[in-house]
Structure 1
Amino acid sequence: MILVTGATGTVGREVLRLLPADLRVRVMARVPARVGHAPAGAETVHGDYADPRSLAAALAGVRSVFLVTADLRRDDGGFLRLARSAGVRHVVKLSAAAVEDPGADDAVTRWQRGNEELLRASGMEWTLLRPRSFMSNALSWAGSVRSGQVVRALYGDSANSCVDPRDLAEVAAGALTGRIPACAAHTLTGPQALTAVEQTARLAELLGRPLRFEELGPDRARAALARRHPDAVVRALLHSAERQRAGAKSRVDDTLPRLLGRPARSFRTWAADHLDAFAPPRAPRG
Structure 2
Amino acid sequence: MILVTGATGTIGREVVRRIPADQEVRIMARDPGRVTGAGAAVEIVHGDFSDPGSLAGVLRGVRTVFLVTNPGGDDDAGFIRAARSAGVRHVVKLSAAAVADSRAEDLITRWQRRNEELLRVSGMEWTLLRPRAFMSNALSWAGSIRSDGVVRALYGASSNACVDPRDVAEVTVRALTEDGHAGRTHTLTGPEAVSAVEQTAQLAELLRRPLRFEELSPERARAALGARYPADIVEALLESAERGREGAKAAVDGTVPALLGRPAGTFRRWAGDHLGAFGNGDR
TM-score, length-scaled by structure 1: 0.97
Q: Does structure 1 residue 27 correspond to structure 2 residue 30?
A: no
**CA deviation string 1:125-176 (max 9, x = no partner):** 1000000000000000000000010000000001000000000000000000
Q: How many residues align?
A: 282
Match of 1:185 in 2: 185
Partner in structure 1 of residue 36 of structure 2: 36
Question: What SS does structure 1 have at the residue aligned with 2:181?
Answer: coil
Tell me whether 1:16 sits opposite 2:16 in the alignment: yes
1:78 partnered with 2:78: yes
Deviation, 1:193, is 0.1
Change (3 A) 1:204 1:102: same
Aligned-residue offset at 1:281: 9.1
Q: Is the 8 A contact 2:208 2:281 kept in 1?
A: no
The alignment partner of 1:76 has SS state of helix
Shift of residue 36 of structure 1? 2.6
Does the CA-based 8 Å contact 1:147-1:280 persist in structure 2? no
> 2 CA distance for matches of 1:41 and 1:280?
35
Structure 2 residue identity aligned to 1:173: V
Match of residue 145 from structure 2: 145
1:212 alignment partner AA: R
Q: Is the 8 A contact 1:171 1:180 kept in 2?
A: no
Alpha-carbon distance in structure 1 between the residues aligned to 2:80 and 2:208: 49
Secondary structure of 2:92 counterpart: strand
What residue number does 1:225 align with? 225
Question: What SS class does the counterpart of residue 37 from structure 1 fall into?
Answer: coil
- Structure 2 counterpart of 1:39, one-letter code: G
Identity %: 69
Q: Distance in 1 between matches of 2:36 and 2:271?
A: 24
Question: Matches of 2:77 and 2:36 in 1, distance apart?
Answer: 29
SS at 1:8's partner residue? coil
Structure 1 CA distance, aligned partners of 2:115 and 2:127? 12
After TM superposition, the structure 1 = structure 2 runs for residues 83-232 of structure 1, keeping only pairs within 5 Å, are 83-232=83-232
Deviation of the 1:180 alpha carbon: 4.8
4-13 vs 174-183, which deviates more? 174-183
CA contact (8 A) 1:188 1:255 kept: yes
Report Cα offsets for 1:204-229 as digits up to 9, x if no partner: 00000110000000000000000000
Counterparts in 2 of 1:137 and 1:180: CA distance versus 1, 3 Å: farther
TM-score normalized with structure 2 length? 0.98
Distance in 2 between the 1:55 and 1:168 partners?
26
In the alignment, which residue of structure 2 is the partner of 1:262? 262
1:38-74 CA distance string (max 9 Å, x none):
2220000011011001111100000100000004121
Q: C-alpha displacement at 1:75, in angstroms?
A: 4.6
Q: How far apart in 1 are the matches of 2:25 and 2:142?
A: 33
Gaps of 5+ in 2: none
Q: Secondary structure at the match of 2:105?
A: coil
- Evaluate the alpha carbon distance shift between residue 201 and residue 281 of structure 1 in structure 2; reply closer, same or farther with a 3 A threshold: closer
1:85 is displaced (CA, Å) by: 1.1
2:97–2:130 Cα contact (<8 Å) kept: yes
1:62-73 alignment, distance < 5 Å: 62-73=62-73
User: Does the Cα contact within 8 Å between 1:180 and 1:259 map onto a contact in 2?
Assistant: no
